[in-house]
Amino acid sequence: MSDTSTLTKGIEIIELKSCSEQRLDEVARILHESFKDDWPDAWPTIEDAAAEVTECLSDDRIGYVALGTNGSVVGWVGAIRAYSGRVWELHPLCVDANSRRSGIGRALMDRLAQQVCDLKGLTIYLGTDDQNDMTSLSGQDLYVDTWEQVAKIKNNGRHPFSFYEKLGFKIVGVVPDANGYGKPDIMMAKRVGCV
């Protein structure tokens, strides 16, 4: 798709780079609010979130914003070019709390995957931290029986790895102790459909 706007499931998806300052401020608010409870160190202030939004406007990144029926921002997805463009890191994906579980995250990911494909990318990957005992990997020594523990992973709460699995992502690794002892980063990846 080369256009900047797509209507999907009652929402409009536009390129982040085409957003007004007001919409960029809305994007920053959603980013901050989406991560503040379970990942408070990610973007601890609205200013940190705004700085991330500004970084996502650079040439080595792509991003899309979902607009609700009233034109307000309800979600955002971004990705960072890696491995000479063959791979893109998902960074970040967030949906306004009042709009979750309505297909917006999936629609944003579908649009991002299409753009990665159009850019001749092969893979999208992400890291999803477990800082709050949200999976069975939390509190474990992942240097022991690593793949057995990964194979038996359980979601103890609302950890997003289950959402990403529904989108076709697979766990491809873990970074033990990434956020302190027993607080891993779960690495996931997905081959995009253009292969």
CA angle (174, 180, 184) in 5-degree steps: 20
Distance in angstroms (rounded) separating the CA atoms of residues 1 and 74 = 22
pLDDT band at 4 (very low <50, low <70, confident <90, very high): very low
pLDDT single digits (tens) 147-159: 999 999 999 988 9
pLDDT digits over 51-92, tens only? Answer: 999 999 999 999 999 999 889 999 999 999 999 999 999 999
Give the chain's largest Cα–Cα span. 51
Question: SS3 for 134?
Answer: coil
User: Residue 79: beta bridge partners?
Assistant: 62, 90
Q: What is the pLDDT of residue 8?
A: 52
Q: Where are the alpha helices (DSSP H) in 60-179?
A: 104-118, 146-151, 161-166
Per-residue pLDDT band at 9 (split at 50, 70, 90):
low
We report the CATH number of the domain holding residue 35 as 3.40.630.30
Range of the domain at 168: 5-191
- Total number of domains in the chain: 1
Q: Are 78 and 91 in contact (CB under 8 A)?
A: yes
| CA–CA gap between residue 190 and residue 123 (Å, rounded) | 6
Q: What is the pTM of this model?
A: 0.90
Task: Quick: pLDDT tens for 83-125.
Answer: 999 999 999 999 998 888 889 999 999 999 999 999 999 999 9
Half-sphere exposure (CA, 13 Å, Cβ side) for 120? 3
Contact 73, 62 (CB under 8 A): no
Instruction: Please check the confidence at residue 139 and state whether its pLDDT lies above 80.
Output: yes
